[in-house]
Amino acid sequence: MLAPPAQRGVLSWEVGSFAAIGVASTAGQAVLYWLLRGWWSPAVANLVSLLVLTVLNTEANRRLTFRHTDARPSRAHLGAGLLFLLGYVVTSGAVLWFKHGDPGASPAAETATHIQADTATVTVVSRTEAITDWSQRYFGAWWNATTDTPSPGGYADGVGLVLADVDAASVDDMATFLSDYGHDETVYANARTLVARHDGITYAVQPDERIGYQADGRRLIIVGDHAEPVAVAAARLARELIRGQLLADGWTVLHASAATQKGDAVLTLGDKGAGKTTTALLLARAGWDLLANDRVFARPEPDGRVRVLPWPSAAAIGLGLLDAMGLYHPVRERVLPGGQLHPTQHPKVTRALQDGRREPIWREDGKELKPQFFPDQLASWLGLTLSTSARAAGLLFPTVVPEATPALVEDGRALTEADVFSSKTEDRYPDIFGLTPTTAAGPEGLTEHLARLPRRSLVLSHDTDANAVLLAKTAEEITAAR
């Protein structure tokens, strides 16, 4: 028989109240543990947080859930004490097991690198500090990257979030899912990639690299067998998330380098091999700040000027140029005791630095193999100052003719479609995770603004000193005209 309505009402109240207090206690203990973990060891933080919330949980249930019973407070707290001991053994065992399995984890179990470029934001979170450190190195001063412990309150919707970790079992699970439910195949980041979409979520696995991805809007999960490949993938997609937000906010990507002085930027444009990186580096060595070595974000502002932001990327600098700028020896001194440049650098370049060889190294297809620098090494190894934002003051269009005398030339060079990256011209990864906005501002307004700026065409040679003199003089004349 059913209990009387009054008893059923009491029972419903007790079940609902007990569940609500239990949920609140669990969340409260997690938050308190997180806060205490910044100062105390895992065992102590777990002990204090569990003790505090056990007492509060018991008293809340005694006063609210079971207020219709005659149980004495001492009896209730005695029972809670036994449950506390059991809970402490279980949770402390889990915490200590985690620390044993991942001794490199940060004190709060996770670290977060926060990245911001103008209004675009992304956070990379990982239990492996090497992964978040990689993003810190890559975006650093250019995109205002900072590293700390994640917020216990989580992250707001709409903010880019990359959760990345070493987790071989999850890679296996994703691979099994794709195998069971079917997939497409493409090439992403120069690797064979299996892709499937289910309920609005994109799943991808690179079986040869052993990396798995899951993307749900601006929130991505990346897992792999080893820290470095996961770190590279996390930084790549963090940059893509920033790119997508900036494109949606009216920015355009230009194929240009940029050097700045007192807030004014000189943009250098041209095809591959035209001298964009050389121009920016020589100006940076002459006292200018380096904003970008290969591409920039640009957007017209209400005041009629064009604002530019950096695009962080590894910088390829030839052995000969390093030597001519007086930077070969400092770089070699870093490499000899074990300093590591970017992993995309060819082993032949590393051996040349170790052996003291300065001559250019060429691939069979005629492309030069160059030292590859992390963005942070441009400052820490090469002594350059990095810039985070500027206003475009003028344009340079160099051409390299090895035996020529560096000079200004009149060739009528102006902006072309090749100088502006679009979905048709950009040599980047396929957007398998849907991070590029479907609607974005066209480049027409930007190119009209840039066409009004002073521009100079130059011939550069292999005479680095003469190039530097001409570039510094020309750039200063352009900015002085603003």
Could you write out the DSSP letters of every residue in 382-451? T-PPB-S-EEEEEEEEEEE-TTSPPEEE-------GGGEE-TTT--S---TT--S-SS---SHHHHHHHH
Domain membership of residue 31 (yes or no) is yes
Rounded to an integer, the average pLDDT of 202-231 is: 95
User: Is residue 83 over pLDDT 70?
Assistant: no
Rounded to an integer, the average pLDDT of 458-474 is: 94
How far is it, in rounded angstroms, from Cα 244 to Cα 313?
16
pLDDT of amino acid 12: 58
Cα–Cα separations (whole angstroms), residue 46 to 41, 81, 84, 101: 8, 15, 11, 18
Rounded to an integer, the average pLDDT of 115-133 is: 94
Contact in structure between 313 and 386 (CB atoms under 8 Å): no
Q: Do 207 and 301 fall into the same domain?
A: no
Contact in structure between 378 and 386 (CB atoms under 8 Å): yes
Q: Do 40 and 97 fall into the same domain?
A: yes
Mean pLDDT of the chain: 84
Domain membership of residue 184 (yes or no) is yes
User: Is residue 164 over pLDDT 90?
Assistant: yes
User: Is residue 102 over pLDDT 70?
Assistant: no
Output the CA torsion 420→422→424→425 (10° steps).
40
pLDDT of amino acid 2: 45
**Residue appearing with tokens 């926060």:** 114
Q: Structure pTM?
A: 0.76
Report the range of poorest mean pLDDT among 71-85, 214-228, 334-348, 450-464. Answer: 71-85
Report the range of poorest mean pLDDT among 86-90, 121-125, 162-166, 298-302. Answer: 86-90
> Which of 101, 134, 165 represents a domain boundary (last residue)?
101
> Which of 202, 223, 248 represents a domain boundary (last residue)?
248
Tokens for 117? 């470029």
How far is it, in rounded angstroms, from Cα 161 to Cα 211?
18
Alpha carbon of residue 434 to chain centroid? 17
pLDDT of amino acid 20: 77
Q: Do 81 and 161 fall into the same domain?
A: no
Q: Do 282 and 414 fall into the same domain?
A: yes
pLDDT tens digit sequence for 326-372? 999 999 999 999 999 999 899 999 999 999 999 999 988 888 999 99
> Which of 62, 79, 101 represents a domain boundary (last residue)?
101
Domain containing residue 46: 5-101
Rounded to an integer, the average pLDDT of 77-82 is: 52
Q: What are phi and psi of 295, to 5 degrees?
A: -155, 155
Q: How confident is the model at residue 99 (pLDDT cuts 50, 70, 90)?
A: very low
Q: What are phi and psi of 399, to 5 degrees?
A: -140, 135
* Letter string b/e over residues 365-380, b meaning 16 or more CB atoms within 10 A of that residue's CB: eeeebbbbbbbbbbbe
pLDDT of amino acid 1: 44
Q: Do 67 and 138 fall into the same domain?
A: no
Total tally of structural domains belonging to the chain? 3
Tell me 161's DSSP state. Answer: E
User: Is residue 445 over pLDDT 50?
Assistant: yes
Q: Do 237 and 271 fall into the same domain?
A: no
pLDDT of amino acid 65: 63
Report the range of poorest mean pLDDT among 233-242, 348-357, 404-413, 440-449. Answer: 440-449
Q: How confident is the model at residue 423 (pLDDT cuts 50, 70, 90)?
A: low
Q: Do 445 and 385 fall into the same domain?
A: yes
Contact in structure between 165 and 106 (CB atoms under 8 Å): no
Amino acid at 1: M
Q: Do 289 and 149 fall into the same domain?
A: no
Q: Do 167 and 287 fall into the same domain?
A: no
Rounded to an integer, the average pLDDT of 395-421 is: 90
